Structure 1
Amino acid sequence: MKQVKHILIVEDDIFLRKYLIAKANKINSRIGIKSTDSAREALQIAQEYDITAFIIDVQLVDYSGMELAKQIRELDIYLFTPIVLITVVPTHELEAYRQVHCYCFSWV
């Protein structure tokens, strides 16, 4: 049996989170999708599942998505895993590329 691949969507806006989940399912319905609005819960999910890509909002309910991305990069298994940071505030782009080595940075 094949191992299920997972993406993790971390977004505090419930409507945007549902939209991202729907888009991901449309692209590939066989990928497992995990989602949360909490950076702490996201870190727990990342430790429990084999996440193949992260989509992370910069501003979350408990702490910064940038800080979460840094914590994810500290886990050896996720050193080169794609991280896409999203935000409505475009001021964190350079920090995202330089400090987290994110794959993509997107304004929503």
Structure 2
Amino acid sequence: MARSHRSRGRAAKSRAPHPELDVASLTAGWRRTEVRGGREWNVQPVSERQAVKAYLCPGCGLEIEPGIAHLVAWRADGVLGDAADLASRRHWHIHCWRIGPT
């Protein structure tokens, strides 16, 4: 009789239910906090696929066209609260953000 080379423990593990994925925690990993000029900023990348609208980059004054990967940045330590900070977010070219917001 032929002998099986498959582990018996593997079959029991494959039947175990998978834990639910927490989408919020997975996507929050893309957002990061940076300190620039003594201010704290939330910075979140936008992929080519997610970039569906045109925005004006505050760093260079040029348009960020749809389909171009870029960053969204907003204050993390504003005095008017989180809602006001989020409402004042700006879309930046990646290069313009790297050389520094003014």
TM range (shorter): under 0.3
Higher relative contact order (CA 8 A, sep 6+): 1
The normalised TM-score by structure 1 is 0.25
The normalised TM-score by structure 2 is 0.26
If you compute each CA radius of gyration, which structure gives the higher value, 1 or 2?
Answer: 2
